[in-house]
Copies of this chain bind each other. A is one copy, B any other.
Amino acid sequence: MSSPASRPASGAEPTRRERQREATYAEIVESALGLLREGEDLSLRAVAQRMGMTAPALYRYVASYSELVDLVALRIDQDATRRFAAAAETVPASDPAARLVLAITEFRTWAMTSPREFSLVFAHPVAEPGCRPGEPLTAAASAELFTTMLHDVWRANRFPVPAVEDLPEVVRQAVLDPAIPGPQHHLPVEERGFGWVAMQGWAQLYGVVALEVFGHVDVRLLASGELFLSTLGRFAPQLGLGADVERLVGLARARIAAA
């Protein structure tokens, strides 16, 4: 059954074989990404062929096709998150609202230009038979980034968040023990209401982007991104950014136009 590769844990330098193995892992994911980028189907055989190997050999590294997909999805999420962060960096840290807006605008642009990658990461697990909702995806780097950036906004302007004790029971529990890593863990208990606002914001963002990517929006509206922008404009005031809405939406519009 070959347990998931006996990593040296914290042992000293990795041995030759281990380095080799790690390199092959990387090449597998890289090849898979290449396939996706070129519009090819993602399959074990195709990945193997790209590496000059045969499909069964890949089973020394992944237990199944779906594990390969998970691996790739994880990597896509990480790469994309780096890209979102880079978009935010184009503006000084003293303007956290602008950074947040640029990052989520980049999220939308990325999703529109890489729909297959997007759906792999964000709409993947449900297509297979015999799966129930629940069990959140591992790919959460982007969610953590957005939460952190929203947290920066909150640190700057302390927009109002619901009191923990006013939240419904289940929500309170979820907020007090967040499933996704991030800055919420370090918040004092009284301020954990922030997490609830973050979830709602994420739902808004994800919703409009998914709707656009999956083709449920009038084609003529897609390029302009007006639906996305209006969602942005509607949510910003809840983040204490009411006075800044026009500037922020303008920022997002400019970035969309530039893409």
Residue A257 interfacial (CB < 8 Å): no
What bracket does the count of chain A residues touching chain B fall in? 35 or more
Contact with B along A136-177 (1 / 0, CB 8 A): 110000010000000000000000000000001011011000
Binds B, one of A12-20, A81-89, A91-99, A123-131: A123-131
Query: Could you tell me if A119 and B126 are in contact, using CB atoms closer than 8 angstroms?
Result: yes
Contact with B along A194-213 (1 / 0, CB 8 A): 00100110111111101111
Query: Could you tell me if B133 and A212 are in contact, using CB atoms closer than 8 angstroms?
Result: yes
Chain B residues in 8 Å Cβ range of A5: none
Query: Could you tell me if A129 and B207 are in contact, using CB atoms closer than 8 angstroms?
Result: no
Complex CA distance for A124 and B126, rounded to whole angstroms = 11
Query: Could you tell me if B221 and A170 are in contact, using CB atoms closer than 8 angstroms?
Result: yes
Question: Which of B127, B135, B136, B208 meets A207, CB within 8 Å?
Answer: B208
Complex CA distance for A134 and B126, rounded to whole angstroms = 23
